[in-house]
Amino acid sequence: MKYIITFELTTTGYKERIKRFLETGAPPPDGATLHGRWFTLGHNKGFMLAETSDPTTIYRWVSQWADLINFEVHQVLEDAQIAEVLKSL
């Protein structure tokens, strides 16, 4: 399963967030793959594309940062997956 994770970087905890990111790199937990992470310019927001067969790994990952970052997690499907559904209609 693939997930688009959006996040908002609030001004609260700014220095702690930088410190933690530089120390850890914010890697995904075992069982999840990070395909990319992008930040908007000037809006304190970002997006990640992650993949895992176990959604609890995504929950674990964002929970580690929930004290400093607001997240929204969206499971997404690819065109081929949607096409299979549409064929059955």
pLDDT at 10: 83
Q: What is the pLDDT of residues 32-80, one digit of tens each?
A: 999 999 999 988 899 999 999 999 999 999 999 999 999 999 999 999 9
pLDDT at 79: 97
* 2-87 is classed CATH 3.30.70.1060: yes
The span from the CA of 69 to the CA of 10, in Å, is 7
3 state DSSP class of 63: helix
pLDDT at 49: 99
pLDDT at 62: 97
Backbone CA torsion sign across 71, 76, 78, 79: negative
Check residue 7 and report its DSSP letter: E
pLDDT at 11: 82
H helical segments located in the chain: 14-24, 55-63, 79-87
